[in-house]
Amino acid sequence: MTFQKLVIGASMAIGVSAIATAPAHALSLTFNNANEIKTYTGGSNGNFIANDTVAASQALTDGNVSSNVELWYTDENPTSNVGFTATEGNYSATVSSVTASDWSSFSSQWLGDLLNTYTPFKSVWNGFSASTQSLITSSFPSLGIGDPNIGSFQFGQNGGVELQLVGDLDVKTKLSQTISTDLGQAWDGGVKSLFPGKTSLSISALDVQTKISLLQLLPTSATLQTQINQLTSYKDLLNFQATLNVYQGKIGASEIAKVVTDNKTYYAYSFNSTASGITASDDGVSYSAYYTWNTPGYTAPTPPSSSVPEPSVMLGLLGVAGVFVTQRKFKKVSI
């Protein structure tokens, strides 16, 4: 019995040591405002679960891209950076919604990438006046893409970050609605007074250009210049709307997430959509695509191996079992 106890003890020590030294860095997620997150459980018949960090953590790590977490879900204009911090070993990253203040720091980058992807709009944009470009740029926060739906999160081998962003396969309708809103505001803001008896729907870009040419013949004044600037922007928006209406392709553009990792700030977005094959259960339109984004130099993690456990681990497990068998026999003898 003494020898048997020594063998069992040794095998247990080896087994426990092997288990203790095996690397095990689990991904941990913490949310900074549970009241502004909503989880979709996935698929075309999924459910929406609000303010539940357990459900959110599951959706971000379950390997199912269609299950996702919306950051700042109460409306489409975040006023704070709501999201989560992920940690795994020495790696850490914070993912959050995008505010109007964030837009001011990266809008030119996003716009440049957008125009380089959809080149038919580039020449139209370059023909805009400076005031029109400023007007459109200032409306970016109202596009409703700063409250991202995150389908998955993971760290790479080198600590880089990869996100799957869930969104629409074609945002052309949303973009058209934004331009229509800008036109409506410009019409009510001063253009309307220059076309008495007319409606916005009856005015074309040619009509506006004719009015500009007539005003330019009048003596220059501050009021006149303001009117010319208003009309120029209105004409530019009409031309942009016309280009959008005749564009035959899809316009894929993901929502945008703010990512802070390794003391660097990134804005995660993509114009390269992949059809998800599903739509959300509430509107039958959302979640029709997903977009992949990762930090520069990202290397995917190595898939976990399915190798046979180490012999020392098996010996340890057998040793534990042996202890219980021995104790049971000892009790019987004692009785």
Q: What is the pLDDT of residue 285?
A: 86
State residue 274 phi and psi, 5-degree precision.
-125, 125
pLDDT tens track for 222-236: 999 999 999 999 999
- Per mean pLDDT, which range of 1-5, 10-14, 264-268 is the poorest? 10-14
pLDDT tens track for 293-307: 999 999 999 876 654
How far from the centroid of its chain's Cα atoms is residue 136's Cα? Answer: 22
Q: What is the pLDDT of residue 303?
A: 79
Assigned token pair, 278: 């599903």
Q: Does pTM surpass 0.75?
A: yes
**C-alpha atoms less than 13 angstroms from C-alpha of 25 in its C-beta half-sphere:** 14
What are the DSSP E strand ranges found in 254-335? 257-261, 264-268, 274-275, 289-294
Q: What is the pLDDT of residue 230?
A: 93
User: Alpha-carbon dihedral of residues 96, 101, 103, 109, nearest 10 degrees?
Assistant: -100
- Per mean pLDDT, which range of 22-36, 118-132, 249-263, 310-324 is the poorest? 310-324
Mean pLDDT of the chain: 86
